[in-house]
Homo-oligomer: A and B are copies of this chain.
Amino acid sequence: MTQKPASPRTRKSPEQVRAAVHQAIIDLLCDPEGEDLNIPAIAQRAGVNHTSVYRRWGSLDALLADMVTTRLERDSPLNDTGTLRGDLLAWAEASVANIRTREGRALVRAVVLSMPHSAQAQAGRAQQFQRRMRSIEQIRERATARGENPPPLEQILDQLVAPFYIRAIFGIDPPADGYPELLVDRLLGSGGEGGTG
């Protein structure tokens, strides 16, 4: 009981540090106080030394990218529903459910914040884009293997992915009912709504 511990602090394993740092980012993005997101604030919230955060991740961009990649891969199992429409609908339903939660919206905003912002960082942004679109590419590949004719990736980006990002960014709730179906119908060409021009 009175035995002196080897270290004055409880040591965290590297994986515990990583999990604590990732969670601290989400917590800060959800915090009512709206503190600026930076490495010292994240390290303090996670209860770790900020120098070890700098040593491990190097920059806030890299840390955010690691966090969103880890979370999005954990959160998006890709079931094969048997049809292109079913797979797209499942993707859209998961995305609607995601942006209805505080943590889900924070995660989308973190994706945006993690974009390397300098002009020369285009290669980094393109790589992030490839990662973010991997699940959509898998849906397209399965459709092609089935003999279906999926829309081009950029069309899916514009019509299915973009609406979720802009709603998370501006905090605009998706319609209460039928939103996944609406977006998929528009994308696959069976949507007939629209005003007169």
Contact = CB atoms under 8 A, between A and B. Distances in A.
Contact of A195 (B120, B186, B188, B196): B188
Interface in A42-84: 59-61, 83-84
A189 B183 contact: no
B193 A128 contact: no
Contacts of A121: 34
B118 A30 contact: yes
Contacts of A189: 191-195
Interface string A116-159: 11111110011011001000000000010000111100110111
Nearest to A189: B194
Contacts of A155: 193-194
Nearest to A88: B197
Contacts of A196: 84, 148-149, 188
Interface in A170-197: 170-172, 175, 183-184, 186-197
Interface residues on A, range: 35 or more
Contacts of A118: 29-35
Most chain-B CB neighbours within 10 Å: which of A125, A128, A132, A166? A166
B175 A154 contact: yes
Contacts of A29: 117-119
Contacts of A158: 162-163, 166, 183
Nearest to A191: B189
A149 B195 contact: yes
Interface in A75-101: 83-85, 88
Contacts of A151: 193-195
Contacts of A128: 170
Given A29-B117, A128-B170, A195 B112 contact: no
| Interface pairs A-B: 9 shortest CB-CB | A189-B194, A34-B118, A85-B197, A162-B162, A32-B120, A162-B166, A158-B163, A125-B171, A129-B170
